[in-house]
Structure 1
Amino acid sequence: MGIGGGIFLIVVGAILAFAVSDSVDAIDLAMIGYICMAAGVLALIISLVLNAQRTNTTHREVIERHDDRRPPAPPPAY
């Protein structure tokens, strides 16, 4: 979801909770707004934690070489 998705959920939840005054019989829009805001905050926190971990990791490249050739013959003795 990422940072943008979390912010989007917070904004939509705030609009539903505080700006919409319509009422639907079976749905409490304010409660849905609060749920969206909570999900947005959770998504924002998780994405920030994951991004912080991603920047702190170090990458190490390991190169293994397997040489199946025989070593060169010793020089002839005179």
Structure 2
Amino acid sequence: MGTGLWILVVILALVAGVALGFFIARRYMMSYLKKNPPINEQMLKMMMMQMGMKPSQKKINQMMAAMNKQQGK
């Protein structure tokens, strides 16, 4: 029965490690996205204005579509 007990311990440790890893990765990604939000239309408009461009809504929509296509959404 010693071998069966070791197998059970290994399986339980594996399940606990996967669960713990999932929650740690989830917390890390949530904090990362809070610190570095993805680019939205407002941020894109501000960037264009800083570069000296006068952004139109059509141009912003085109750039957002190109960025979404690049990311594979």
TM-score, reference length from structure 2:
0.42
Structure with greater helix percent: 2
TM-score, reference length from structure 1:
0.39
